[in-house]
Amino acid sequence: MLVSLIHGLLICAGLIVAIGAQNAFVLQQGLRREHAWLVAGVCALCDWLLIGLGVLGLGALIAQQALLMEVARWAGAAFLAWQAGLALRRALSPHALVAGGAGLASWRAALAATLAVTLLNPQVYLETLVLLGAIGAVQPSPLGFFIGAALASFGWFFGLVAAAGWLAPRLASPRVWRVIDALIALILAWVAWRLASGAMLP
């Protein structure tokens, strides 16, 4: 179970810890102390539900079909390699994560905005339902994989809120993101290689 948990933790962390609208939104709410814990909780809960549906639902169905599993394996490896390439390109031309935009006065507005920035991104479904689902379903312990992925999501979103004041000036530094994106590129490239070589499959 520990190996599966580590796989889930690393893969999800590599996918989630990247500059994007969702991370900028969570950081923004953390800095403003505007329904920040609600926002982090909704982001984490959406991840948990989608990853759980993938690992225990769609991923399990894919794992039962040899052809679909091969397609998911190579498509997943290609997708991770592409993401690693994007992270490497960001590391070579780093950008900052800067919170901005208008404030959200009510918790309903914050909830609606969080759901929109989380669920209206098609890539989230590819990453959670298909990619993480297919990999997680064939782990020695799918539950361990899910727990690891959930911990990565929980730690990142709640960590952004809890440390928003400390993180903001540092995440606004392109130099810091150069290091973060280089680490993301290494993790995703390693996972892509293990997936392509069959090391993460039974």
What average pLDDT score do residues 1-24 get? 76
pLDDT in tens, 111-168: 888 888 888 876 777 778 777 887 887 788 888 889 998 899 999 999 888 887 787 7
Q: What are phi and psi of 64, to 5 degrees?
A: -80, -15
pLDDT in tens, 76-108: 778 778 878 877 887 888 676 655 555 556 888
CA-based nearest residue to 68, from 58, 54, 81 = 58
The residue ranking higher by pLDDT, 13 or 121, is 13
Q: How many helices (H) and strands (E) does the chain have?
A: 11, 0
Categorize the per-residue pLDDT at 11 as very low, low, confident or very high, splitting at 50, 70 and 90: confident
**pTM score above 0.85:** no
What average pLDDT score do residues 17-34 get? 74
pLDDT in tens, 35-70: 889 999 999 999 889 888 888 777 767 667 777 667
Q: What are phi and psi of 43, to 5 degrees?
A: -60, -45
List b or e across 109-134, with b for residues whose CB sees 16 or more CB atoms inside 10 angstroms. Answer: ebeebbeebbeeeeebbebbbbbbbb
Categorize the per-residue pLDDT at 18 as very low, low, confident or very high, splitting at 50, 70 and 90: low
* Res 137: pLDDT: 77
What average pLDDT score do residues 181-193 get? 79
